[in-house]
Amino acid sequence: MRIAVLGAAGRMGQALTRTLAETPGCTVAGGLEAEGSPAIGQDIGTLAGLDPLGVAITDDALHLFAHADGVLDFTSPAATVAFAGLAAQARIVHVIGTTGFSEDDLIKLEAAARHAVIVKAGNMSMGVNLLAALTARVAATLGPEFDIEILEMHHRHKRDAPSGTSLMLGAAAAKGREVSLAEHSVRTRDGETGPRRTGDIGFAALRGGDVVGEHRVIFAGRERIELAHIASDRGIFARGAVTAALWGRGKSPGLYSMADVLGLQVLGL
């Protein structure tokens, strides 16, 4: 499968190139950066710390989409929405790892998925997707006397909060409890907040240093249960993304999740 990397010079872009280069059945079909980026013209392998792969990073999205069977997209919300239109036109698999979408962006991605195979997840690692399934299970088992709080820490460069993973975990908790996340989520606390409302699902975000990504789901009642995931290497996200692209080839158009790719729903988790 010919797979191109969007945002090839980024932290995830480089991890994706390394993973693609070592995955049987995949070829690195190209790398994209925005016009004016100093990465344009550089070899995608060299940039990712490998031997040269003979593929120069380009800013020509149309050419790149026309010569790929799939694209791995860890860029920015605005770029990803534009790329969804191009992937739909080219009828190729669009794997979306980007986070921080607005409601309006999500509507546009759903529209694009009527014509294209999109696999989208706030976290592509097997561990976090398992954690989400476990979170739903624990939330369904415990009553509302257990307060649910989701805590994350990421590196100082991260631009969005709560993280895509925290939102996935919040959605899983809400699903387990059979409530709407929008009606129960509390994203900030400051000043005279009053006591915690029963049933709320709270979010807290820490930023600093080079932390790859850490998440904790806390169920706090008269006793406390905590589920946690710690990522120490971006390769876990990259492996999930490449697996998703291979899985998506030949599927009917639609918006799929990593739970679909990993078969977690089939397992009843």
Ligand X SMILES: O=C(O)C1=N[C@H](C(=O)O)C[C@H](O)C1
Ligand Y SMILES: NC(=O)C1=CN([C@@H]2O[C@H](COP(=O)(O)OP(=O)(O)OC[C@H]3O[C@@H](n4cnc5c(N)ncnc54)[C@H](OP(=O)(O)O)[C@@H]3O)[C@@H](O)[C@H]2O)C=CC1
Residues interacting with ligand X, by CB under 6 A?
99, 122-123, 154, 158, 163-165, 213
Give how far the C-alpha of residue 51 lies from the chain's centroid of Cα atoms, to the nearest Å.
28
- 250 annotated to a ligand binding site: no
Backbone angles phi, psi at 45, to 5 degrees: -70, -45
Degrees to nearest 5, angle at CA 213 with 211 and 216: 120
- 198 annotated to a ligand binding site: no
Beta carbons of 76 and 216 less than 8 angstroms apart: no
Beta carbons of 148 and 174 less than 8 angstroms apart: no
Q: Which does 42 bind (CB under 5 to 8 A by kind): ligand Y, ligand X, none?
A: none
- 25 annotated to a ligand binding site: no
Q: Mask: binding to ligand Y, 12-51, rule CB under 6 A, as x and -?
A: xx------------------xxx--x--------------
Is 67 among the catalytic positions? no
Q: Which does 76 bind (CB under 5 to 8 A by kind): ligand X, ligand Y, none?
A: ligand Y
Pairing status of strand 70-73 against strand 2-6: parallel
- 235 annotated to a ligand binding site: no
The residue at minimum Cβ distance from ligand X is 213
Beta strand extents in the chain (DSSP E only): 2-6, 27-32, 57-58, 70-73, 93-96, 117-120, 147-154, 185-186, 201-207, 213-220, 224-231, 254-256
Nearer to ligand X, 30 or 97 (CB): 97
Nearer to ligand Y, 116 or 236 (CB): 236
- Minimum separation from the CB atom of position 157 to ligand Y (A): 6
Detail the residues annotated as belonging to a binding site for NAD(+).
7-12, 51, 97-99, 121-124
